[in-house]
Amino acid sequence: MSSNQTLLSIEHGLFPRFGEGFGRSASRFHFGFSWKGEGVQLLDMEISTSENEDCFGTLLKQGAEARVFESIFLGRRAIIKERFSKKYRHPSLDSKLTLKRLNAEARCMTKARRLGVATPALYALDPLLHTLTFEYVEGPAVKEVLLTFGEHGIVEERLDDIATQIGQAIANLHDGGLIHGDLTTSNLLLKIGTNQLVVIDFGLSYTSTLPEDKAVDLYVLERALTSMHSSCGNVMDRILAAYKKTSKQWSSTMNKLAQVRQRGRKRTMVG
């Protein structure tokens, strides 16, 4: 056998998945190895799970990239986010890209916590099943609270507190070189008992220190507030006031935000 011969002796097989709250199902796997001298290098890996959507727990929502489940992890309520495969991609390439995105999301969540921004605690990352398991945060999304304000009247003190926390959290992320990428009121939770703001869903997050990227991050939130919560007044002004007080780099970001807004208006006019 040559020193660089590719080994494919480990063929498809089945193994059970066990886990408290994970249910039980089976996964099919295939590994490709390259033999080099005294070492073995993993070339590709393909995992396909059974089509049992309840295997992780209760399905809460499904998007274009992932499914989110409520489950139990080591006796605690937890959230499992599964990034599912894209059938149009080659299986080995799909697995590598999915794992890369999964690792990036985990790193961004961890970095956000280091920057002083509350996020769910990350419990586990499974590179084979492409899942993240993290803390279940009990409490409403900011979206629900603002919609309630729109229907029953604004509680000014609470709205100020929410807006201040949002502005401070985003400023801490941005000053630390982290862009959330999907700042909507659905991705901001208020923990029951403390009303502490918790930022979730770092699936589109990335690192950047560019004022343009920070401005676009803010503009995404502004558009979400305008379209969903116009009855609450200009919440964005309150958020930006807190952002300016917290961020050491707010000036360049605000200048870019004005340009981003202008581009947005032009797109709206053109259609």
Domains and CATH numbers, the chain: 6-135 (3.30.200.20), 142-270 (1.10.510.10)
Q: Which alpha helices (DSSP H) does the chain contain, by range? A: 91-114, 142-152, 156-175, 211-228, 235-246, 250-270
**Banded model confidence at residue 40, pLDDT cuts 50, 70, 90:** very low
Q: What is the pLDDT of residues 130-152, one digit of tens each?
A: 999 999 999 999 999 999 999 99
Q: What is the pLDDT of residues 8-33, one digit of tens each?
A: 333 333 333 334 444 434 344 444 44
* CA quadruple 229, 231, 233, 238: dihedral, nearest 10: -30
**Banded model confidence at residue 268, pLDDT cuts 50, 70, 90:** low
**Banded model confidence at residue 111, pLDDT cuts 50, 70, 90:** very high
Residues annotated catalytic, as ranges:
182
What residues contact 17, with CB distance under 8 A and at least 6 apart?
A: 23, 24, 25, 26, 27, 49, 55, 129
Tokens of 252: 């360049």
| Chain position carrying tokens 């996964």 | 27
